[in-house]
Chains A and B, each alone.
Chain A
Amino acid sequence: MINKPLLTLILLFCTIGISWAQYSIKGTVSDERTGEPLIGASILIKGTTSGAVTDLDGNYTLEINNSGNVELVVSSIGYLKKTIPVNPNQSVVNIQLNEDATNLEEVVVTGLVSSVKRSNLANAVTTVSARDLTGTTTIQTTDGALYGKVAGATIRSNGGAPGGGISIQLRGISSLQSASQPLIIVDGVYINNASQRTGRATVSGAGASSQDDGANRLADINPADIETIEVLKGPSAAAIYGTRANAGVIIITTKRGAEGRTTVSLSQDVGFAKPLRLLGVDDWSEEKINFFFPESRRPIELERFRAAQSTGTFIDYEDFFYNNTALLLNTRINVSGGSEKTKFFVSGNITDEDGTVKNTGFERYSIRANIDHKITDKIKLGISSNYIRSNTDRGFTGNQNNTGASIGYSISYVPNYYDLRRNDDGTYPINPYFSENPVSVTDNAVNNSQVNRFIQAFTLDFDILKTQNSYLKATVAGGLDYLQNSTQIYLPEFLQFQRSQANPGDLFIGRQESFNTNFQAALVYNWNLGTVNMNSQAGLVRLDFDNNSLFNRGRGLVPGQRNLKQANIQEINEQFNSKIQEAGIFLQQEANWEDKIVGTVGVRWDKSTLNGDPNEFYAFPRASVAFNIANFDFWNSGVISQLKPRIAYGETAGPVPFGATFTPLGGTNIGGLLGSTVSTTIGNTLIQPETASELEFGVDAGFFNNRISLEATYYIKNTQNNLQNLNLAPSTGVNTTLSNEAELQNKGLELGLSGTVVEKSNFRWFSRILYWQNTIEMTRLGVPTYISGGFGSGLGTFLYAEGYSPTTIVGTPADPSIPGGFTIWGDAQPDFNLSFSNSFSIYKGLEFSFLVDWRNGGSNVNLSSFLADGGGTTNGWFDDDNGDGIPNGRQRNPEPYNNAGRWVQDASFVKIREIGLYYTLPKTTLSEWFGTTVQNIRVGTSVNNAFLFTDYDGYDPETSSFGAQSVGNNVDIAPYPTSRRIFFHVTIDF
């Protein structure tokens, strides 16, 4: 909507040409392979503004206003453009178009108000179409649907809890302390993608909110509404987005209406989920009991064991808690259509998906109205309105401390001969092995988040001036994202741990509100300088972010009550407000010489109230050039149909966290008095945003008339002024101040090879291979070497040292030869990723597709193993591989045993991510059955996370207990197991 420059104008004028017609032609436009008619294909007389658009049956009629030979330029979305000569002797011209398998015709957004054809693009921008995103299977969240589809992305989830919780890092990490998550823009609105606090980690004792397993709020966007996702992976592509683009930009464009018949599309998915992988638990024997338990405890344990033996009651708790079948339901209805003046797309979506753990699930209700209207011929208004209500129950998994409010943590310690299941009288047995009965927690505790959200975007385009070969237009755009999240954590008073507390029953109620607005105004001038098409843009941007949160806690609850007033101890746990304002100016100049050489230069200046000096503008320049060698006249190769070397440079920044400039006096209460305490952090009033510069170069090539395309990109991304805490001498009573000292370098390679392997009328096979790798180096630390993240050196932590990647995992035993003093055990960064996707069209209407993802290398810190080893429940715990009399569970490799290295495990894997099989009923059958009422019926079945192959000792090598953070987000602590999801689909279009 932001930009369809020439085409829109041309279509606008095409009606005018009719009156001077000299001869007319007609015909149909169809798919070359299948023969299916193409609706809405555009036929344009070359060098003029006259043309026509095909109707529902692919027919067109075109009046040609001179008597000579002309050329028709025929295009349709998803097809390669074709130029056809016509002469006055012809009256019927049928045209067949080839599918644009390599997406050369695709328009890619490259600036705030500009876009460019993929074949002219100077950056490696990944576009994920609706078909790539949700065409194979249904995935709960948009980010979850990007796995394996974006070269350069490392995607991790907190676990398999319903409703999201996903981190995306593009081209390594750009920040040490911030989450290094891309900026997300939906229809021009800067949306909130925070992983919001729920308080679970507070109530469970796990610690900071990073262990809440809160969903990131991109989960609210209905993936089925999305038309395309463009991924600007680094500063060279994203520079024009300025201060917030260090970790890349994800531009989401939702579906919009098209002129023509109103289509009503109804889709229903029914599916079920089961855990993708479970590990099993260890069996016990009298010998193991005598080994494991202290003498005083043995009699009771042996008694329990024998009792279980006599009744055969052994419980595999992993199976009991996780191995349930969850029902997945998705209902979608879209209504779209419009006239020449007004177009609309209205959608409604209900997602109702249970989790594989009892009492967990995700519900999302979304309604959207995207409307485009021509106020006059010169003024166009576009609005996108989306209201969402999400309701998520994520249960209790992950880390905890002492409270037992985590299934995985608790069951690590429970032998399978002890029965924790509910008694007939409704009570629950005391768990003598840990502080809580997880069955009771699962049955009775609440971890709920309810989001109400409204996202509104608008664009207003003014055509100010139009001449034969230039135009000037103004675009005013903006929007808002209002998000309100009500969270509740509830542990009822009768739980074992609660009963052991002075004030049993724990209720934690949160209210978070965020209101983001953004506004942009720009002028775009398109003109010609000789044979060079020039596009000049200038504009300004304004961003405002307001966040407020309030968390209250009540302990000592009236039985069954979940109102804070029913608590003995009422506590304001947290109130936090933040207000951020940013403004920027941008200039950009694009030059296109006959699609042969395409260059862009631009600069953006930004200032922000987050910075030490809120009035200082920081400049973010960019420049790029692409050479379409195959478009030069001298090029004459039948094999290589496109050859485009390209190079791009750009700079961006990452924002300073809110409050870094303040040295506050904290509030504290003691003995009924209110006190002020000096903060342990000192504000830095000179703090600057962290900046990154990226040089990217590569080559795009198309072979055999672009049936096969190759995209190869190498990038060097250097970050400067990286924000990190400078640790002060704690003896001065202050611990940290934020600094701008560090520098990082990410270097990487991205390759994409795609194409149509077989293209026959009854069989088409499209295949795509993506390969990417990234290496990180701390080129400057600026502060003394330190270790941070995870749970300390004994359990694997991360090394911040010059010459090393901060993703380096170190731990005991000490190794003085390494900076930081500990042994290096692994690196979170994979050696490489490779994804392989295929789609097959078989006969008419049958489609089969699958996506395989392979990650090689990259280690996790597997503390789930640590817990199970501690409780003697790891499968095979009592085996003794080396026969020295010490069971494996007490003697983990590598030698010398029992150091941090035992928890650092290779997380390589191969996943069959998506499999889909669909059948579209033939049109003839439809008309036999339904007449003209039903336009299209498509049925199918699909699997998400079909298979996992890995040596990793966990549920999923891609999980992390720490949510979205740049470093240390590969720590596995008793996560919610990832599920395998199997669906049946039906879509009916009326």
Chain B
Amino acid sequence: MKNIAKNIGFALIAATIIASCNPLELDDIQDPNNPSVGSIAKNASPEQIQFLITGLESRHRGYVTNISQAWNTFGREIWYLNASDPRFQTDWLGQNGRVPDRSYFGFGNTGGGSWATPYQAIKQADVLKLAADNTDNITAAQKSAVVGFSKTIQGYQYMIPANFVYNNGIRMDVTNPLKPGPFVPYEEALNQINTILDEGFQALGASGSGNFPFKLTSGFNGFNTITGLQQVNRAIAARLNAYRKDWQGVLTALEGSFMNLNGNLNAGPAHPYGAAPDIFNPLYYVPNAAVNTMIVVHPSVLDDATPGDLRVQNKFLKRTNPVTVTTDAGALVGTHQDARWVSNSSPITYIRNEELILLKAEAHANLNQGTAAVAAINIIRNAAGIGPYTGATTTAALIDEILYQRRYSLWAEPWGHRWIDARRYDRLADIPTSYDKGTIFTQFPHPQAELSWDDYIGN
């Protein structure tokens, strides 16, 4: 019996040890890696608002890689040669009759960089607006500045999905992740974007004057004042109004923009890039790098060039060894690479004075103001060293000329200008497919995930 008692004693000691650290009790484990979205929902500090603004700048550049590689391929400004995955050639060029489906290569179920990514910037701006609205830690003027900045970026970003799916229309009401609004037609979407940009412009105006009250990156150098941001807002509105065919609206917007007929054509806000922890300029390739993945100049751009065009000289580098990629649809050879970027930390300007002057020319041309149009065209032509315009001054001739100049002035900018331009003037058929035997896409269907969601909630 003594032993039994002793054993029970041992067991009791063991039980006490167990009980003292209660193995059944679990700690409350918080995310050890990140703050939560909830932390900024109420009474965010000015620092937290600042982090969200910088976060918005980061989301704002998310589209650059995908749009630059894909849309510029669709418009045959470039080929994105990629030996590691032939689908960058076969699928993006529409070879062997391929046409975009709802989860097309390079876009996935979510539309990737052409859909989900711009909407993430829009979401970020919404969260930022909400955080600014729900805090007492910043002033009303600061709140208004935040709203103006957010809406300006939103206006820019909404245009990306709108142009991606074009006549299929986009969702504009996207604030509630569980209740996204309906798809609205392209024209309607552009009108709503116009309203957002106008609201942004006004909100910026209502925030006073002087410097933008939060830090912006060097991408906004020259534009980090309230006035400067308003100019950026109007520049974006000018581009939008051209898509809306509101030519007077283009001119009005340009008035408020940073357009400068005598100024640096490259002036404009930019996406900054740099070494880690930042990311490198995704369009930069080392000159003559012995690789076979590279953005190369589409041969039609070289074939159609005007002799002596400085843009061709400055933007294209003739490689010592061409880049060749072979797929089951044949071989593609790239002779020239992109020479625009000095280094892998060069910023990428996303709307430039040169585009604004071309928009001015285009608006005048469409308004039958030939002389004004030619004057603007000549600023561009002279800068390119190809002499003044000598052709006809009919609207049709001027549009031909402007679209041609846009091909070289805006070559391979992160927007897919030529694809969009050819489409809005119904000239997709003019884009040559003889070099790659591909197809010119008009637009993309809605990404599968959008349909799946509607399906899930029973719409």
Contacts and interface: CB of A to CB of B under 8 A. Distances in A.
Interface of A: 205, 292-294, 296-297, 378-379, 400-402, 409, 413, 430-435, 462-465, 474, 476, 496-497, 499-503, 519, 521, 523, 540-542, 553, 555, 568-572, 575-583, 585, 607-609, 614-615, 659, 662-680, 682, 726-735, 783-787, 792-795, 814, 821, 869-872, 890, 898
Contacts of B307: none
A401 B115 CA distance: 23
7 contacts: A294-B330, A434-B292, A673-B54, A675-B58, A678-B120, A678-B124, A734-B120
B318 to A, nearest CB: 14
B115 A730 contact: yes
A739 to B, nearest CB: 10
| Residue among A464, A497, A568, A732 with the highest chain B CB neighbour number at 10 A | A732
A435 B115 CA distance: 31
Nearest to A401: B84
A569 B450 contact: no
Nearest to A292: B326
Contact of B452 (A580, A668, A786): A786
Contact of B450 (A666, A731, A795, A870): A731
Contacts of A677: 55, 58-59, 120, 124
Interface string B261-282: 0000000000010111110100
Contacts of B24: 540, 542, 583, 585
Nearest to A734: B177
Contacts of A674: 51, 54
Contact of B111 (A521, A726, A730, A733): A730
Interface string B305-326: 0000000000000000110101
A974 to B, nearest CB: 11
A464 B37 contact: no
Interface stretch (B8-16, B198-206, B380-388): B8-16
Given A579-B29, A579-B32, A583-B26, A670 B450 contact: no
A413 B291 CA distance: 13
Contacts of A679: 34, 37
Given A682-B177, A733-B120, A577 B56 contact: no
B340 interface: no
Nearest to B87: A794
A792 B103 contact: yes
Nearest to A500: B289
Contacts of A580: 29
A609 B332 CA distance: 54
Given A662-B34, A733-B123, A672 B218 contact: yes
B51 A675 contact: yes
Contacts of A402: 82-84, 291, 293
A792 to B, nearest CB: 6
Nearest to A732: B177
Contacts of A871: 326
Given A581-B27, A731-B115, A430 B344 contact: no
Nearest to A785: B452
A732 B173 CA distance: 8
Contacts of B331: 292-294, 297
Nearest to A662: B31
Nearest to B27: A581
A664 B24 CA distance: 28
Across the A-B interface, the 3 shortest Cβ-Cβ residue pairs: A733-B123, A671-B217, A571-B276
Given A677-B120, A730-B447, A794-B87, 8 more contacts: A474-B10, A608-B26, A665-B37, A667-B34, A675-B56, A729-B450, A734-B123, A870-B328
A521 B14 CA distance: 9
A173 B195 CA distance: 52
Given A672-B218, A726-B456, A784-B456, A731 B170 contact: yes
B36 A205 contact: no
Contacts of A730: 110-111, 115-116, 119, 447, 449-450
Nearest to B7: A464
B134 to A, nearest CB: 15
B35 A502 contact: no
Contact of B286 (A501, A666, A670): A501
B362 to A, nearest CB: 30
A680 B116 CA distance: 9
Contact of B29 (A581, A729, A731): A581
A693 B74 CA distance: 51
Contacts of B11: 462, 464, 474, 523
B246 interface: no
Given A675-B55, A679-B37, A733-B122, A870 B286 contact: no
B180 A502 contact: no
Contacts of B292: 433-435
B217 A672 contact: yes
Nearest to A665: B35
Given A671-B218, A729-B449, A730-B116, A401 B85 contact: yes
A870 B83 CA distance: 9
B170 A675 contact: no
A665 B178 CA distance: 19
Interface in B59-106: 59, 61, 82-87, 91, 96, 101, 103, 105
| Residue among B26, B119, B284 with the highest chain A CB neighbour number at 10 A | B26
B244 interface: no
B33 A576 contact: yes
B26 A496 contact: no
B126 to A, nearest CB: 7
Contacts of A898: 96, 328
A891 B150 CA distance: 52
Contacts of A787: 103, 109
A294 B450 CA distance: 41
Given A462-B11, A665-B35, A870-B327, A733 B126 contact: yes
Nearest to B25: A583
Interface string B236-250: 000000000000000
Contacts of A542: 23-24
Contacts of A400: 84
Interface string B322-365: 10101110111100000000011000000000000000000000
Contacts of A434: 83, 292
Interface string B44-59: 0000100111111111
B123 A678 contact: yes
A432 B325 CA distance: 11
Contacts of A431: 290
Contacts of A786: 109, 448, 452
| Residue among B25, B111, B291, B448 with the highest chain A CB neighbour number at 10 A | B291
A607 B31 contact: no
Contact of B26 (A581, A664, A678): A581
B155 interface: no
A609 B27 contact: yes
Nearest to A402: B293
Contact of A665 (B39, B59, B280, B449): B39
A589 to B, nearest CB: 20
Nearest to A406: B84
Contacts of B432: none
Contact of A731 (B8, B27, B180): B180
Given A434-B83, A502-B344, A664 B171 contact: no
A671 B10 contact: no
B51 A727 contact: no
A670 B58 contact: yes
Contacts of A664: 31, 33-37
A578 B32 contact: yes
A435 B278 CA distance: 25
Contact of A569 (B31, B276, B447): B276
B18 interface: yes
B61 to A, nearest CB: 7
Contacts of B284: 502
B157 to A, nearest CB: 10
Contact of A662 (B4, B36, B59, B453): B36
